[in-house]
Structure 1
Amino acid sequence: MEAVCELVPGGDEEEEETGADEAMLWSFQEALERQTLQIGASACGATAVVDVLKALCVDVAPEEADRCVQTRQRRNESPLPDYLLSRSEAGATHAQLIQGAQQASKGKVVGRFFHLHPQRRVGLVHWLARWIRSGAVPVATMNMQLAVPDGEEVPDAWHHQLIFGVAPNVVFMTNPLDVESEAEVHQRLCSESVLLIRREDVLLRLTPDCCLSGLSDTQSDPRWRALDVEGQVKQVVQEEDQPRLTHIRIPAAYRSGVTLFALRESELGQELLKAPELPLL
């Protein structure tokens, strides 16, 4: 299959012929050859944008995509309050992906984000298949700290992944090349905007002169107080000898859902901009 260059919305007849729950931008082998591997620290969003533009036949250097997305980095050497703030926004949001793709493509590409939290009334694979067949390129913004397989360590971050295809009950993604069940992907796509920080990462940066009140009082986001991040840190300290709290919860800048990309001047691009939000369950 050639890369998507001409975008034509698919109709009902096409859905009946190809199967309503099956659609591919690339074959698995093509995805293996075409996918972009992580281009830098916290740069999964910029990496996804590189592949979005590639799928839409817009050639952009990875460095340029990263510059346009404006990937944020963790401030690992900062005191605890600033470190936690940097963790809450490290990487990129869906809005940065949309802006980055538009800027890197010089306005040729448009993106539209669809919220999947709170829970929506949608069959994920069926919905994705319809848009992929039309020529849209999806990117999932997922909380990878949900639906963690038994025995595996809780991942350290959220993740953006390009979706290059779907089939009944499965989703195909890049960076890394992966096949996941629809149920697991849907669960990660329907998450409140929180991030788990490992207790060891908290204790490593907790100094005697650390002002914990800053975790509640100096943040512009009221969720820091609502989550009682200061209280969670104090609990971690109190449990240092007999730890029960493995992570603390902090606000995350990210929203879980799917961003669909298309060429702005195409019929699909205009349809995408006018499409309604997915209905709440």
Structure 2
Amino acid sequence: MSQNTVRFLYCSIVLLPKGYTSVSVTMERGSADGVQAQPGSGCPQSASNTDAKAEVSMAMVWSIQEAVARQTLQIGVSACGATAVVDVLQALGISVAPELVDGCVRTRLRRNESPLPDYLHSRSEAGATHQQLIDGAEQASDGRVLGRFFSLHPQRKVRLVPWLASWIRRGAVPVATMNMQRAVPAGEETPDAWHHQLIFGVGPNAVFMTNPLDVVSEGEVHERLCSESVLLIRREDVLQRLTNEVPLSTVSDYPDTRWKALDVEGQVKQMITEEGFSDGEQPKMTHIVIPAAYKSGVTLFTLRDSDVVHSLLEAPELPLL
């Protein structure tokens, strides 16, 4: 992190968590050991902080202006993980071509033209896991960058924003691995995937992220970070790939026993049965649930020769609630 003092005044309704109307924050970023911020009168505070203003935390990897200029737009299909790694390396002062990073992360694609069993298996692992991000960042940086994953499921005893702020101040760069099918705003369509996003800063009840550039409430992010490793598949994506050429039973022919535990085959059969119902006769399943390869949580990246690396590797797992 640069030793030069960077000041900015951010006042915009565009990048506010839903439900807020204004925010004014003057921030000074100086030495790597801390960030000082003075919330303006319009700044929201999370419920956990209302009784202790001194505990309100704010820390930034990039300023808003830097994020606008430096963020990487998604570099390819299912490549949100590789995109996040490109920005991690940038934030740590390492420039690597996006296509090289994607190759190191080994992004997996959906097999959209396959019959249903193979399609579902591809959906369960499309994109990348947090471990692929860690391995990809290390390989793309020639070993100069390492990462440490912290699981947030099952629910952990942690206040997300202060915890993230403490690591950002010490020079770590966070990436969130989230189930976007949780905390879906009322009236919006359920997303069809998990998502990796660089966290370039945190503030009172706010988490700043790239791809897309956004600020989301602490509670919303925390809920998406605390999810079982499952994925919802839309009804139409299931039914349009049914074929007599491939037995449905092969859905369960997979080393991961969760396919049988979730009775994915039975869920599909139920959807098929429902196709014989008259419209309005009874509610139909909108999705089936399949196992997902991803784990929800936060990966913290840093330079291998940084001062924070020892404490990062030695830090205990977050305690269960």
The TM-score bracket by the shorter chain reads over 0.9
Are residues 1:236 and 2:276 paired?
no
Residues in 2 aligned to 1:272 and 1:91: alpha-carbon distance in whole angstroms = 26
How far residue 255 of structure 1 moved from its aligned partner, in angstroms, is 0.1
Q: Which has the higher contact order (CA 8 A, sep 6+)?
A: 1
| Secondary structure of the corresponding residue to residue 208 of structure 2 | strand
The answer to whether structure 1 residue 92 and structure 2 residue 132 are counterparts is: no
* C-alpha displacement of 1:208: 2.4
Aligned residues: 276
Q: Is the contact between residue 55 and residue 162 of structure 2 (CA under 8 Å) also seen in structure 1?
A: no
Q: 1:10 is matched with which residue?
A: 33
- Per the TM alignment, residue 3 of structure 1 is displaced from its structure 2 partner at its CA by 9.5
SS of equivalent residue, structure 1 residue 113: strand
**Partner amino acid for 2:259?**
W
Question: Where does 1:1-281 land on structure 2 (aligned, <5 Å)?
Answer: 2=2, 10=33, 20-216=56-252, 218-242=253-277, 244-281=284-321
Quick one: distance in 2 between partners of 1:3 and 1:34? Answer: 19
Q: Is the 8 A contact 2:171 2:302 kept in 1?
A: yes
Q: Is the 8 A contact 2:37 2:58 kept in 1?
A: no
Report if aligned partners of 1:115, 1:258 keep a CA contact under 8 Å in 2: yes
For 2:304 and 2:236, the matched residues in 1 are separated by 46
Counterpart-to-counterpart distance in 2, 1:231 and 1:185: 32
In structure 2, stretches of 5+ residues that fail to align are 5-30, 39-53, 278-282
Once the two structures are TM-superposed, the CA of residue 100 in structure 1 deviates from its matched residue by: 0.2
Asked if structure 2 preserves the Cα contact closer than 8 Å seen for 1:264 and 1:270, the reply is no
CA RMSD in angstroms comes to 2.0
| Amino acid of the structure 2 residue aligned with 1:10 | D
Whole-angstrom CA distance in 2 between matches of 1:209 and 1:186: 43
Distance 2:91 2:3 in 1: 5
Q: Greater share of helix residues, 1 or 2? A: 1
TM-score (norm 2): 0.82
Letter in 1 for 2:170: S
| C-alpha deviation, 1:210, in angstroms | 3.0
**Per-residue CA shift, 1:110-159, capped at 9, x if unaligned?**
10000000000000001000001111000000000000001100001000
AA aligned to 2:59 is A
One-letter identity of the residue aligned with 1:257: G
Note the C-alpha offset of 1:9. Answer: 6.6
Extract unaligned runs of 5+ from structure 1: none
Contact map agreement 1:81 1:215 (CA 8 A) in 2: yes
Residues 206-233 of structure 1, C-alpha deviation per residue, up to 9 Å, x if partnerless? 01233111112x1100000000000000
1:39-66: CA deviation from partner (whole Å, max 9, x where unpaired) = 0000000000000000000110000100
The 8 Å contact of residues 197 and 209 in structure 2, kept in 1 or not, is answered as: yes
Please give the alpha-carbon distance, in whole angstroms, between the structure 1 residues aligned to 2:251 and 2:71: 39
Distance apart, 1:27 and its partner CA: 1.2
Percent sequence identity over aligned pairs:
71
1:31–1:235 distance in 2 versus 1, CA, 3 Å: same
TM (normalized to structure 1)? 0.94
1:3 and 1:54 map into 2 onto residues whose CA distance is 16
Deviation (angstroms), 1:10: 2.9
1:3-45: CA deviation from partner (whole Å, max 9, x where unpaired) = 99xxx8737xx67999651101111121111100000000000
2-structure distance, mates of 1:247, 1:68: 33
